[in-house]
């Protein structure tokens, strides 16, 4: 437990009690020695103005409640390490999607930088230390991202006009946002669609218009979300219906055996050094694209319809070069 955490904890303990608490109890709850306890009490009282008193009989500590206003810790109490972690999180988000929440985070970054300098920590130049390489990512308008995130956090419904890729047509629908997913440089909103009466995943860059509604969002439990979206391979998910069995050559096996394609995958080396990977999936679209990336280094063993689909796509590609 850090010093900052102990100060917060000590304040909360004293703030919630109406009677003195013994030094021994405080040392146990704060996981500290008596000397450390007295230093914490002194800092809380002398530097932060806490109305700490010590009972003359029990020698326990308590808050003097004779003041009109209850005591609260002033400002933001946070350690330099925690401030740097916040700054790093902001920089990572800026790298993932430049422009997202820029206005909101810019002022926060300035305040964090000032706090770090006051503690003798230089924060300038941190952006150049964190680099995320993008590959074919699709940009999301900042205003739209803010609306979606705001509705998600405040648990409000959204009315959206959405352009679906598969049918190449627009539709208007009311959704209850459940969670945001950043997957392969693109943002997706997992939501309950009130028109379809089911869970759907919406690519943010395909949302043409959005408005936040006053109606409270329908809540879907985390276990239900995981069962629907996380059981199958890729972003085109749903409850797993099939298991793909892929055999990678010994040369490729050294890398593939260390990769995580899915939380429930299974893999094993064969006698010749090849790697057989088993991955649950529902929609085969994304899986086919990923298999084709490895060319002759991978063979689909099962199921038959996936093997045939990959062979057909490979044949189409081959005809373009003959």
The confidence score (pLDDT) of residue 95 equals: 62
Q: Which residue has the higher pLDDT, 151 or 232?
A: 151
- The whole-chain average pLDDT of the chain stands at 83
Residue 208 lies in a domain: yes
Q: Name the band, by pLDDT with cuts 50, 70 and 90, for residue 90.
A: low
Paired tokens of 241: 């219906």
> Do residues 165 and 193 both lie within one domain?
yes
Residue 235 lies in a domain: no
Q: Which residue has the higher pLDDT, 240 or 211?
A: 211
CATH of the domain at 20: 1.10.10.10
Residue 69 lies in a domain: no
Q: Which residue has the higher pLDDT, 128 or 200?
A: 200
Residue 81 lies in a domain: no
| pTM of the complete model beyond 0.85 | no
Strands across the sheet containing 266-269: 266-269, 275-281, 242-248, 298-302
Q: In which residue are the tokens 């924060």 written?
A: 123
Q: Name the band, by pLDDT with cuts 50, 70 and 90, for residue 5.
A: confident
> Mean pLDDT: which of 2-6, 17-21, 122-126, 213-217 is highest?
213-217
User: Cα(150)–Cα(179) distance, rounded to whole angstroms?
Assistant: 12
Residue 103: its H or E element: helix 102-118
> Do residues 249 and 312 both lie within one domain?
yes
The confidence score (pLDDT) of residue 14 equals: 92
Residue 80 lies in a domain: no
Counting the structural domains of the chain, the total is 4
Burial 301-321 (b: 16+ CB within 10 A, else e): eebeebbebbeeeeeeeeeee
The confidence score (pLDDT) of residue 251 equals: 94
User: Cα(261)–Cα(282) distance, rounded to whole angstroms?
Assistant: 14
Percent of the chain scoring above 90 in pLDDT: 46
Residue 209 lies in a domain: yes
Examine the pLDDT at 87 and tell me if it is beyond 80.
Answer: no
- Categorise residue 286: left if φ over 0, alpha if ψ from -120 to 50, beta otherwise: alpha
The confidence score (pLDDT) of residue 4 equals: 76
Examine the pLDDT at 97 and tell me if it is beyond 70.
Answer: no
Q: Name the band, by pLDDT with cuts 50, 70 and 90, for residue 69.
A: confident
> Do residues 283 and 251 both lie within one domain?
yes
Residue 226 lies in a domain: no
Q: Name the band, by pLDDT with cuts 50, 70 and 90, for residue 77.
A: low
The confidence score (pLDDT) of residue 83 equals: 61
> Do residues 291 and 261 both lie within one domain?
yes
Across the range 63-86, mean pLDDT stands at 70
Across the range 20-45, mean pLDDT stands at 92
The residue among 262, 294, 309, 257 whose CA lies nearest residue 281 is 262
The confidence score (pLDDT) of residue 89 equals: 66
Residue 68 lies in a domain: no
The confidence score (pLDDT) of residue 120 equals: 59
Q: Name the band, by pLDDT with cuts 50, 70 and 90, for residue 274.
A: very high
Examine the pLDDT at 177 and tell me if it is beyond 90.
Answer: yes
Across the range 183-199, mean pLDDT stands at 90
Tell the burial category of 249 from Cβ atoms under 10 Å away from its Cβ (0-12, 13-18, 19+). Answer: middle
The confidence score (pLDDT) of residue 140 equals: 81
Examine the pLDDT at 284 and tell me if it is beyond 60.
Answer: yes
Q: Which residue has the higher pLDDT, 29 or 84?
A: 29
Paired tokens of 22: 């013994």
The confidence score (pLDDT) of residue 55 equals: 92
**105-113 long-range contacts, Cβ below 8 Å, gap at least 24?**
112/83, 112/86, 112/87, 113/87
> Do residues 206 and 275 both lie within one domain?
no
Examine the pLDDT at 305 and tell me if it is beyond 90.
Answer: yes
Rounded to the nearest 10 degrees, how much is the dihedral formed by the CA atoms of 300, 201, 88, 30?
-100
Percent of the chain scoring above 70 in pLDDT: 77
* Domain hosting residue 205, numbered range: 144-221
């Amino acid at each position: 437990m850090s010093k900052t955490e102990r100060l917060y904890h000590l304040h909360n303990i004293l703030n919630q009690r109406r009677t003195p608490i013994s030094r021994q109890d405080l040392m146990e709850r704060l996981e500290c020695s008596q000397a450390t306890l007295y230093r914490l009490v002194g800092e809380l009282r002398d530097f932060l103005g806490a109305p700490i008193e010590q009972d003359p009989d029990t020698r326990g500590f308590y808050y003097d409640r004779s003041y009109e206003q209850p005591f609260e810790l002033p400002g933001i109490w946070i350690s330099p390490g925690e401030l740097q972690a916040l700054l790093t999180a902001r920089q990572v988000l800026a790298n993932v999607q430049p422009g997202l929440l820029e206005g909101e985070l810019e002022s926060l970054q300035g305040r964090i930088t000032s706090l770090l300098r006051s503690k003798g920590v230089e924060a300038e130049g941190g952006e150049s230390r964190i680099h995320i390489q993008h590959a074919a990512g699709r940009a999301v308008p900042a205003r739209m991202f803010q609306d979606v995130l705001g509705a998600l956090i405040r648990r409000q419904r959204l009315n959206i006009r959405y352009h679906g890729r598969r049918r190449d047509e627009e539709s208007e629908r009311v959704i209850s946002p459940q969670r945001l997913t950043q997957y392969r440089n693109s943002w997706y909103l997992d939501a309950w669609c009130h028109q379809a009466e089911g869970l759907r995943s919406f690519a943010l860059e395909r949302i043409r218009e959005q408005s936040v509604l006053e109606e409270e969002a329908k809540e879907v439990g985390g276990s239900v979300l995981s069962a629907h979206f996380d059981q199958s391979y890729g972003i085109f998910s749903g409850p797993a219906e099939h298991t793909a069995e892929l055999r990678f050559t010994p040369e490729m096996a050294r890398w593939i055996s260390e990769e995580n394609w899915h939380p429930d995958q299974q893999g094993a080396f064969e006698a010749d050094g090849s790697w057989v990977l088993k991955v649950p999936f529902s929609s085969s679209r994304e899986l086919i694209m990923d298999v084709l990336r490895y060319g002759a280094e991978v063979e689909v063993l099962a199921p038959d319809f996936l093997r045939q689909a990959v062979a057909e796509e490979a044949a189409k590609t081959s005809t373009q070069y003959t």
